[in-house]
Amino acid sequence: MKFVKVADGRVVLLEYEVSDQAHGLLDSSGEDAPLVYIHGTPGVLPLLQSALDGKSIGDVFDVTIAPQDAYGEHNPAAVQEVSRSQFPEGVDLQPGMQVSSSGGPQLTAVITQVTEDKVTLDANHPLAGRTLRFQGKVIEVREASEEELAAVGRSAAG
């Protein structure tokens, strides 16, 4: 049996859990919904990819990544209060809802507070400012097809 190790250009399937000390478990997958990615391409944190280099099927990992190496520090300037009138009438705005800008550069934010005339938006990544612990197991490693590599190239370009 040929043992394929995690390396650039290979498809990797992972079972994982992501947690932090303050909030406990933040996200997880399982055998039914593993994370699938092509190693060495954008989309998975570089330090997590480095921790997976050379691993084989069945190998476990446990890596802690500081905010600056994950999704950045929480930026107070990315929290804005806007007028309720900037949203369509009749829309039931609630904290936790994700909204996107229309026109101009694409901006996605989460509503954190709603009052009668103001809406507070946070454009930080939801995991910004958190030290994250990734634990899991490599379930599959295989060579990526030319089509898979081309698809990653198309999505990275545009």
Q: Give the whole-angstrom CA distance, residue 111 versus residue 118.
A: 11
Tell me the longest C-alpha to C-alpha distance in the chain: 65
Positive or negative, the Cα torsion across 59, 5, 133, 139? negative
In a domain, 2, yes or no: no
Residues 14 and 42 grouped into a single domain: yes
Domain of 17 in residue numbering reads as 10-71+127-157
Which residues of the chain register pLDDT less than 50? 1, 157-158
Residues 66 and 137 grouped into a single domain: yes
Q: For position 30, what pLDDT does the model report? A: 67
Q: For position 31, what pLDDT does the model report? A: 65
- In the chain, the number of structural domains is 2
Read off the CATH number of the domain in which 57 is found: 3.10.50.40
Q: Where are the beta strands (DSSP E) in 2-157?
A: 10-20, 24-28, 35-38, 60-65, 79-83, 98-100, 108-114, 118-122, 132-143
Q: Which helix (H) or strand (E) holds 153?
A: helix 146-157
pTM of the model: 0.80
Q: For position 6, what pLDDT does the model report? A: 97
Residues 107 and 38 grouped into a single domain: no
